[in-house]
Amino acid sequence: MARAVAFAFLCLAVGGLAKSVTPFAEKILGTWLPQKGYPLKSILGPVAYNFLASGPGSMNVGLTALRDNKTGDVWFTLLDGQMWRVVGKQVQYCFGEGVLAEQSPFEVDNITDTSVNICWRSGDRGMPTHTKGCQGCDCARIFLNLTDDNTLHFQFWMSPPLVHADLMFVRSAPQPAFKDAISSTMVMPYLQCQIKDHYGLNIPGEPDLRNKTNTKPERISRSGCLAHQRIYAMKNDDIMASLGEFSQEAQERDSAGQCHQLNGVQLASDSSACKRDPSKCNNVSDVKMQYIPPTGKCDPCDVSYSISAKIEQDEYIAFGFKGQS
């Protein structure tokens, strides 16, 4: 009975949509541009300026945060096609351009006048790449914090202390309209980006993260994986430009190895920006990886590989493998 009353308090029917009571740091709502001189750091390394989300009129912006007055929900965006929906204390990460492709469950851990702390949803199992057995903030954490009224620090850990993204923004405009920032990206955002205990690809057969007896997601076919790569190559650009990893030709390659340009789309975008407008040059690193595919069945597999990086004498890179990606 108490849960039913709480739910009724949270959701009031308004125009066919639910009206939510969603607390948020109202001062964060707005349109934000990257702060000049602060490197845009991500799990891929420095981020190309043009890799960030596009606002109304195709004006590049770094981050948007808005409240939909029709529902009371809060939405914020970062990379193009990447958004978070906040309903009450529940948060859903959704990624896709037109069609939902991936999602992850989060929740609001703490709110002040100038900050919002968001963590992996309590009670949900973490991703295979999170700390083993983690819960809540130990799995993943997003922290939006105003260092002053017009400067916003965005930090993302997966799992702490591993930095997934670290970006600094300056306020450039008021919050955008929902139709410009959200509806322009996803066909039916409220139907597609729903609060679910689910992470990863938006495909049938995925487990409920609270169901301890169903731990293995349904595997997608090789052709399905390749199709997904082709559609989202711009966001998952640590793949070969030819996208031929699963082709017959690739399977018949000799032991000379396969060479990948890591973060190649961002490198090309940044190189172009450096020539056109130095103020948008983020110095994305040129990193290549060559490896010899293992033969036969193995899990885990021994892999011989080499790394080359065009970096300064006082710089370094860290390189790692993510599950079976």
The contacts of residue 174 (CB under 8 Å, 6+ apart) are: 30, 31
- Same domain for 112 and 182, yes or no, is yes
Q: Which residue has the higher pLDDT, 300 or 78?
A: 78
pLDDT band at 9 (very low <50, low <70, confident <90, very high): very low
pLDDT tens profile 166-199: 999 999 999 999 998 898 888 899 999 999 998 8
In a domain, 241, yes or no: yes
- Same domain for 281 and 156, yes or no, is no
In a domain, 246, yes or no: yes
pLDDT at 240: 39
pLDDT tens profile 202-226: 766 666 787 654 444 433 333 333 3
- Point out the domain boundary residue: 142, 167, 201: 201
Mean pLDDT across the stretch 240-247? 41
In a domain, 322, yes or no: no
In a domain, 320, yes or no: no
Domain housing 53: 13-201
In this structure, of 40-49, 247-256, 306-315, the range with the lowest mean pLDDT score is: 247-256
Is 119 a residue whose pLDDT tops 50? yes
Whether pTM exceeds 0.75: no
- Same domain for 39 and 128, yes or no, is yes
Spatial distance between the Cα atoms of 308 and 290, rounded to a whole number of angstroms: 9
- Same domain for 173 and 86, yes or no, is yes
pLDDT at 191: 93
How many domains is the chain built from? Answer: 2
Average confidence score pLDDT of the chain: 79
Residues 62/28, Cβ–Cβ less than 8 Å: no
Spatial distance between the Cα atoms of 56 and 77, rounded to a whole number of angstroms: 13
- Same domain for 120 and 53, yes or no, is yes
Q: Which residue has the higher pLDDT, 148 or 233?
A: 148
- Point out the domain boundary residue: 201, 232, 247: 201
- Same domain for 195 and 246, yes or no, is no
pLDDT tens profile 52-103: 654 444 345 689 999 999 999 999 998 878 999 999 999 999 998 888 899 9
